[in-house]
Each structure stands twice: as C-alpha cells, then as structure tokens.
Structure 1
Amino acid sequence: MIGVLAALTALRLLVAGATPLAPDEAYYWVWSRVLQPGYLDHPPMVAFFIRAGTLLAGEVALGIRLMGPLSIALASVLLARAADALFPDRRPGIWAAALFNATLLVGVGGILMTPDLPLLVFWVAALWALARLHVTQDGRWWLAFGLFSGLALVSKYTAGLLGIGVIAWLIACRGAWHWWRDWRLWAGGVLAAAVFAPVILWNAAHGWASFVKQGGRAGVETGGFTLRFLGELLAGQAGLATPLVFILCVTGTALAVMAWVRRGDAAAALLAALVVPGAALFTWQATGSRVQGNWPAILYPAACILAAAFITPRLARLRRPAVALGATLALLAYIQAAIAPLPLPRRLDPTLARLGGWDAFAALVEQERARTGAGFVAAEEYGLAAQLALRLPPGVPVVALNPRWDLFDLPRPQSLGPAVTGLLVQSERRDSVPDWPGAEPVQRAEGSLVRARGGVEAERYRAFRVTTRADLPAAAVMPRP
C-alpha cells in the first residue's frame, strides 16, 4: 500500500505543479500573505497550509498546493489504520483507503487547495483518534480527538457535524454511555473550544461577519418542498464520489446501521454516527435550497470504511471496478486540466472556466496597462484580483475592490498616491457598471480582453480607466509574490 500511495502522491504533486491555479486558490494565497484568525468566507487553516507550502516551494502553483497531496497521503494511512483497528477480523483498511482515494472529491479535490482539504485531513485524524479510543478504551484519546476536532473547525465550520455525530454515538450506543462519566471527554471538548477560540474572538471583533455569511447558507431558499435540489444533490454525489463508490458507501452505511440495531455493533454505530446525521441534514437542506457538491465530502471517510467492511460478497466484486473507474476519471481530469488535449467549450469543461488561460490573459492585461499608461490594475472580483496579483510583472500594483477587503490588514489604494490612473478589468458576465466611482470605458480596436486556452474562449472582459480618490468604496492593494 505504501508504495502505491507514494507513487500516487508523486503523481498528484506533478499535476499540482503543472496545472494553473483556480481563482479561489489565488484568493486563498492572498490569505496566506495576511495571516489572521478569521476571514469573511472561512476560518484560516487553508491559509496556514498555503503558507507552509510556499515557504518550502515558493509562491508558485506547486508551493501553494504542496500540502494537499502530502496531507491526503497521511490521511489515507490514518484512515486505513482506523479501519483495521475497528474491524481487526476483516482488515478492511487497504480497501477503505483505496475507495477514499478513488473518489473525485479526493482524487481531484486533494490537489486543489481549498478549505475542504484541511477539513478532510483533520476530520480523518479525528476519526482515527475515535477508533483508537474505542479499541483501547483509553480516555486519553478524547484529548487527541478534541485537538483534531478543533483544527477541523479552524478549517471549515461544517466540522461541527463531527461533534454532532459523536454526541449521537454517545447517546445511541449503550456501550459508549460510560464515557459521559469520564472527565477526559469533557476535557477534549474544552480543548476543541480552545483551539477554535481565536476564530470566535475574530468574529466577535468583526461583527460576526464570517458566522453570519456562512450561517446564511445553511437555511432554505424556497418557500416549500422541492425535489429539484434533492436530485442535484444525489446526482452530484454520485458524480463526485464516482457512481460505484457512491453505491458501495450507501450500501455499507445501511448494512452498518442494521448491524448496530440487530447486534449492538459499537464500531459500526460509531462510523454510522459520522455519516447518517450529516447525510440527513444535507438531504433536509436539499428539499429547500442548493447543497454544494463538496459539502458532504466529510461523510466519505467513515462511509468508505463501512463500504469496505460491511458490503456483501456480491457487492465486494465492485471494489476493483470502483477503484479503477475513479482512477481513470481522475487521470482524465488531470490531463485535461494540465494540457487540455480536448478543445471543449466552456459549458462542457469546468477546467477551462476555472483554470484556463490565466498566464496569457495576465500578459494581455499588462499590454493594455502599458498602452494606456495606467499606474495600477484593479478588479472587483476577488478571484480575478488575486489571479492578477499572482501573475502580473513585478512592480505593478493590483487593487481589489470589494467590501470583504475591509476585513484585511492591507494597504488602501490611497497609498498609491492621489489621482493615480489605473486600469480596471471586469468580466462581461457582470453588471457593466463598475463600483469604482468615475470609471470610464476604455475603447479598444481589438474589442474585449479575452481569456482563452488553446484558442477556446473561457471568458471576456471589459476595461475601464479609473483614478484613485478619497471616496472609494472598500478596496485594498494586493500583496505580490
């Protein structure tokens, strides 16, 4: 297993360095240059991961993504050991890790540096600590669980489902009731809260901005029951987990619940508690609003163990095809993202929309800046501003215009000087009226600025002439590599 995992990690590192960064990854790179206990969108762990990687490999794609493949490899080992510890008679660890890596959520998502990646890693580490707790009955593992749970919360707020699952296990499983009397359970909870406390304090000092933003995504959007979002959720999970892995995970979880109900299997109950409450919550939310495909990723570590340990012999024959299918789909995604041999249009190729043509586009923007004599480049979309900050030549200031930048300790555009002329770039998919007061359209004989990959258009952009002024809305000067 270790040899295969090492080869897989080496491949992922190669792809991580060869594939252009997505706008969100560039945005999180900005976080890594302004480390703080919280941000509008998420807690800060992804920024720490990127900072560690860039210190080792530089502020390039490989450095920004370095910690992803390495930490996923560690998580795979921990998942396998947790599975073997919980079910020593079946030894499902290798298959659990294989199914876990066969999902596109890990195979592709393990390369992209987003908050889901550290969340998934620390979730698996917490699961491993729970497995050691259950097997050894040593209450000191509650402290390890509390530490990893706190780090998961510092990665993304959906880590709260980890605590909900454990509480459900402690209530529903008679064999776990004795832990309520153990002080180390409560000490683990205190430790998790202490690790998460800086995020709470940052939110308290900033009007609870991050909690309000993410809390607003947890409700429902429609006034009544609808099947549209539920269908999207099921189809999305079948796609992101890959169809065969999804079937095995659902079946394994159902059989584990039956084993707990019929035989009181405490190990099955523990893992089911890390899947069923979260699955029920996402399913309920999908009856009234859209659930993003990456949100349920945290359910798959435990579900993959159950798929490896509880499926019937007939379904067990699907494990090899499931791993092969996942590996094939991930490899195809790697190839298309890195070298794009298929000239697919934007609507059929998400790698084009998010990853394609950024270096050439930055060069085009720089040509336009030089032609117009602009002293800086500006953008309203945070991802676009971050991409330009990473890619424009040294010495060119990049200004980002968005209310979120008020929550960062970054210089304001006024620091560039009074009445300095700049070039604002705006996607044609947005409203044509920029938020920058006094913006004037730039007329180009060539028409729009076009971002493209291999001659296939990804997006069109307008250009405006702007000037630094005292009455600017929230804006900041981006860090540069």
Structure 2
Amino acid sequence: MRLEASRGLWLLVLGLTVLRLWAAATIPLTEDEAYYRLWSEHLHLGYYDHPPMIAWWIRLGTTLAGDTPLGVRLLPILGAAITTLLTADLARRLGASARTALVAALAYNAMLTIGAGGILATPDAPAILFWAATLSVLGRIGAGGSPRFWLLAGLMAGLACISKYSALFLAPGIFLWLVSSPEGRRRLLTPWPWTAVAVAGAVFATNLAWNATNHWLTFEKQFGRVEPSQFRPEYLGELLSTQFALLNPFIAVLAGAGIWAAIRRRGQAGGMDLSLPLLAALPFGLYLALHALHDRVQAHWPATIFAAFALAAAAAVEARPRGWRPRTLATGLVFGTVAMAGALAWAGLQGPPLNQRTDPLLPIRGWPEFAGQVEAARVKAGAQWVGVAHYGALSQLAATGRIQAPLVHLIERERWPDAAPAPVERPGLVLDKSRRLSLADLQACFRTVTPAGELVRGLPTSRVDRYPLFRVEGPVPDLLARGCPDELGKNRRR
C-alpha cells in the first residue's frame, strides 16, 4: 500500500478510535451492555442468550480500564479499529488499488450502524471482527498465500461462531465462493479447507458442550426463532427500508451499483473481485430475508455483512471515478461523519429530548440517581431485597452499584445461574415499568402485595418511565428456582 493511502488509513483509524473512546467513557451503558457486564463477572463457555465471546471481551476490558462504561466497551472499540484495517486489507487482496482500499474503509465507517454503533459492547462486536478476519485470511489465500492460512481461517471462523450464531452462515458462504471458480473447486480437493472446518468445529464445540450440559439453553433461545409461526411480509419491507437507512442511503446506492456491476461482469478480469465477500454474505442475507417474512429482523442483525457492502461501494467508485459516483461518495461520507459525530456527541453530552413526546436517550438516562431513589425506598419499606420483572432494569440497577441488597429477576431465572442467594422469604421491594408490572401480576406470585409509591426516571420536559413500587411478602414456592407464574412473565418483553 502506498505511503499516502497508508497514512490516510491510519489517521482514519486513530481519529475514529479517539472519538469512540471519548464517547464510550461518557455515554451510559445500554440495558444489553449492562446485562453482558453481569455475564463477565462469571465467565463460562455459554450463556442464556448468546455464546460467550462478548463476556470474555468485557472481562478483559474492565480488567484493563476498570469497571466503567469505557472498560466495558474497550475491546469492541479496538475491534472496530481492527475491522476497518481488515476491510482495507481485504480490498487490496481482492485487487483494489490503495486508494480504493481507503475508500472502502471510509465507506464502512460512514455506515450509521458502524459509525455510531461501533462503541457498543454487544455480541455483534466480536462477530463482526472475526467475520472480517476470516475473509481477510481467505483473501490472502485467494491471492496466492500459503495453504496453511486455512488453519487461521478456521480459527477465526470458530471464534466468530462463539461470538454470535449468525456466523454459522459463513460455512455455506465460503463453500459457495469455492465452488464458484475452477481454482476454488481445486482447493476443495485438497485437505486444507476441510482442516479449516475441523478447526472451526473444535472451537465451536466448546459452546456446544456447554449447551449440552445446560439443557441447550442458548440453542433453544436462538434457534427457536427460526420456525415460522405467521406470514407477515410487511417485515421484509421494514428490513429493506431500515437497512437502506442504516447503511447510509448514499453508500447503499453505491453498494447496489457495485453489486450489480459485479454480477454483470462475473468471470471477467480487472477491478476488485467481490465474489468472496458477497458470496460469503449471501446465505446470511437470504436467511434474514426469509426471517422477515414471518418476524421482525432487529436493526443490528445484518451488521456482520456490512463490510461487503462497503467493498462493493468502493468498487463502484473505482470502476467509474468520474460522474455521479464520486459525488455520491463524498456526500455519503459527509453525511455519515456528521450523523456519527452528532449522535455520539448528543448521547455523550446527554443532550435534551427531541420534544415532549420523544426522548431517544431515555433508556440510558438517570440510572444512578434512580438507583439511589430505589435504595432509599427499599430502606424505608424495610425490604431485604429488590425484585424486577425485566433483565435490563436489573442489569442497569446492578451497574450503578447503589443497591445495597440482593437484586432478583422474578422471571426467566435460567438467565442467572450464578446469582447469589437472596432472602426472598423476607420482605422485598418489587418495581418495574408500569406497563410491565401491576398489582394483579404480583398477587399471583406473593401472598401479600402492598403498593409503596412510584418513582420516575427521565427528564420532566419529555416522556418519562414510571415505576410503581410494591412491598411483597410470602413468595410462591421455589421462586428462585422457577420464577413467578406466567402472568408476570407475559409482560417481560413489553
């Protein structure tokens, strides 16, 4: 890579990393991040919702930088920086110029999910990194590298799979890439690709073994979504429109042009060869489209294949460096940069609500102060423990460190195999959002339920979350083992 492009790439990575580190240190944790932080206190080979990698990352980050939002997010931010470098490296391996590799790195970070979401400590963070690392290694093989790189590719793919199960789609995608060319088919006749499968399988077997000894918790949770229960094609339209926006509309248009051009000139020499990133992404993309025919696809799910779209956008500009494409790229980069910096600054500085009805920052606002009020209410009520109906609220309260009594999740007790025993036979204080919790719900779970007031979290100038408080006594048998009856559990996702 030429010095100019190399310097530009490193300056890009350094600048973005500094911005993300500042944002990570100033923006409070989201509910899911606080939840994964609790995982990191007890390391395992698997958890209720996901494979274990994000817990390991958070544990390392908090060891290095303290039990703070920055510590929780440290490894995901470094992972985002490495992924940017890997995206540029893959572009070069696929035949792009140094300039185009830099464009791919810029386009990748101009995507709204990546630009602003690159600080978040979720399972997507390690999955994105190891997916990109797998493709980068395969790009080296495709460019004539040693076949021993297949061992490293298998290791990276295995690490991706114990980050998030969506990485399992890498295997059929890579197989499509291999069978799509004579050279790839020849490689399938050697032991190297199959050795990579064995290495990846050995890594994934660690999580498989954990599930086998824990009632297949994660498999039941995640793969239970696959079975269609209804036909709702409107979700497909929602997926396409949402991802068009989150890709950055300008980058999405360029990516579409690059993909179409790659399809039209398939097999022809010249330009960046997009077959590896696009075919590797194809099975997962098709699954998401099928899933969207019966259920909603969450906005962050496709993030692992965003690098493929960045490469396609860069290829589109490289193929026609004059006309509307470079202008669209410039507009997209400005739009993505402004959106990313604005979103991170607004969240980091805890900016005001948009209006009286909408406050996008409400989920992360005021948890330390709120936890202090909960603790005061607990002491006043003479309660020996605090119960909640939603895992996110419990995790946020725990992250503040201000509750001086055991916290108890009243449902889905399988989420908390390492929870310390709580004296639930003694009086407790139960709270959650008003739409999740009612007197009637708790009466199915406790013999005595007494209203104990209400707390409010949020800014008085906009929408707030209201939390009714209840003093409870006399739990149902085996509360800590089985949780509350179904009526309370039905409200957990609301």
TM-score after normalising by structure 2: 0.89
1:451 alignment counterpart? 457
Q: 1:405 to 1:297 in 2, by over 3 A?
A: same
1:411–1:476 contact (8 Å) kept in structure 2: no
2:358–2:462 contact (8 Å) kept in structure 1: no
Counterpart selection for 2:393 from 384, 387, 390: 384
2:206 alignment counterpart? 198
Opposite residue 316 of structure 1, the aligned amino acid is P
Counterpart selection for 2:55 from 23, 42, 47: 47
**1:242 paired to 2:251:** no
- For 1:38 and 1:286, locate their aligned partners in 2 and report how far apart those are by CA, in whole Å: 27
Deviations for 1:403-455, whole angstroms, at most 9, x for unmatched residues?
24366233232xx4x732221112112141136423513233xxx21111364
Q: 1:289 to 1:469 in 2, by over 3 A?
A: closer
**1:399 paired to 2:399:** no
**1:175 paired to 2:183:** yes
SS of the aligned residue for 1:136 comes to: coil
1:357–1:452 contact (8 Å) kept in structure 2: yes
Opposite residue 10 of structure 2, the aligned amino acid is I
User: What is the deviation of 1:394?
Assistant: 6.3
2:80–2:129 contact (8 Å) kept in structure 1: yes
2:149 alignment counterpart? 141
C-alpha RMSD over aligned residues: 2.3
- For 1:258 and 1:439, locate their aligned partners in 2 and report how far apart those are by CA, in whole Å: 70
Deviations for 1:220-261, whole angstroms, at most 9, x for unmatched residues?
342x4x441111101110221111122222221222222225
Deviations for 1:97-126, whole angstroms, at most 9, x for unmatched residues?
111111121112211111111111111111
Opposite residue 338 of structure 1, the aligned amino acid is G
SS of the aligned residue for 2:49 comes to: coil
**1:274 paired to 2:280:** yes
**1:363 paired to 2:369:** no
Unaligned runs of 5+ in 1: none
1:219–1:289 contact (8 Å) kept in structure 2: no
1:425–1:464 contact (8 Å) kept in structure 2: yes
**1:339 paired to 2:349:** yes
Give the 5 Å matches for 1:282-301.
Answer: 282-301=288-307
Opposite residue 36 of structure 2, the aligned amino acid is Y
Q: Which moved more, 1:203-212 or 1:125-134?
A: 203-212
Q: 1:78 to 1:90 in 2, by over 3 A?
A: closer
**1:419 paired to 2:417:** no
User: What is the deviation of 1:33?
Assistant: 0.6
Give the 5 Å matches for 1:154-169.
Answer: 154-169=162-177
**1:69 paired to 2:77:** yes
2:486 alignment counterpart? none
Q: Which moved more, 1:419-428 or 1:380-389?
A: 419-428
- For 2:356 and 2:470, locate their aligned partners in 1 and report how far apart those are by CA, in whole Å: 25
2:385–2:427 contact (8 Å) kept in structure 1: yes
1:374–1:421 contact (8 Å) kept in structure 2: yes
1:319 alignment counterpart? 329
Opposite residue 78 of structure 1, the aligned amino acid is L
User: What is the deviation of 1:42?
Assistant: 0.6
User: What is the deviation of 1:168?
Assistant: 0.9
Q: 1:264 to 1:177 in 2, by over 3 A?
A: farther
- For 1:439 and 1:128, locate their aligned partners in 2 and report how far apart those are by CA, in whole Å: 60
Q: 1:476 to 1:54 in 2, by over 3 A?
A: farther
Opposite residue 452 of structure 2, the aligned amino acid is Q
**1:56 paired to 2:64:** yes
**1:211 paired to 2:226:** no
Opposite residue 405 of structure 1, the aligned amino acid is E
Q: Which moved more, 1:261-270 or 1:141-150?
A: 261-270
Q: 1:407 to 1:192 in 2, by over 3 A?
A: farther
- For 1:115 and 1:56, locate their aligned partners in 2 and report how far apart those are by CA, in whole Å: 20
Counterpart selection for 1:187 from 195, 202, 211: 195
**1:466 paired to 2:472:** yes
Q: Which moved more, 1:182-191 or 1:277-286?
A: 277-286
TM-score after normalising by structure 1: 0.91
1:173–1:266 contact (8 Å) kept in structure 2: no
Opposite residue 198 of structure 2, the aligned amino acid is V
**1:309 paired to 2:318:** no
2:158 alignment counterpart? 150
Give the 5 Å matches for 1:77-116.
Answer: 77-89=85-97, 91-116=99-124
User: What is the deviation of 1:89?
Assistant: 4.4
SS of the aligned residue for 1:438 comes to: strand
2:260 alignment counterpart? 254
Q: 1:334 to 1:264 in 2, by over 3 A?
A: closer
Q: Which moved more, 1:357-366 or 1:14-23?
A: 357-366
2:375–2:404 contact (8 Å) kept in structure 1: no
Opposite residue 335 of structure 1, the aligned amino acid is A
- For 2:401 and 2:197, locate their aligned partners in 1 and report how far apart those are by CA, in whole Å: 46
Deviations for 1:104-160, whole angstroms, at most 9, x for unmatched residues?
211122111111111111111111111111112421111111011000001100001
1:123–1:149 contact (8 Å) kept in structure 2: yes
- For 1:315 and 1:266, locate their aligned partners in 2 and report how far apart those are by CA, in whole Å: 16
- For 1:176 and 1:468, locate their aligned partners in 2 and report how far apart those are by CA, in whole Å: 66
2:488 alignment counterpart? none
1:259–1:265 contact (8 Å) kept in structure 2: no
User: What is the deviation of 1:47?
Assistant: 0.3
SS of the aligned residue for 1:423 comes to: strand
SS of the aligned residue for 1:66 comes to: helix
- For 2:125 and 2:451, locate their aligned partners in 1 and report how far apart those are by CA, in whole Å: 41
SS of the aligned residue for 2:458 comes to: strand
- For 1:4 and 1:167, locate their aligned partners in 2 and report how far apart those are by CA, in whole Å: 33
User: What is the deviation of 1:461?
Assistant: 0.8
Counterpart selection for 1:29 from 28, 31, 37: 37
Identity %: 35
Q: 1:439 to 1:426 in 2, by over 3 A?
A: farther
Opposite residue 254 of structure 1, the aligned amino acid is W
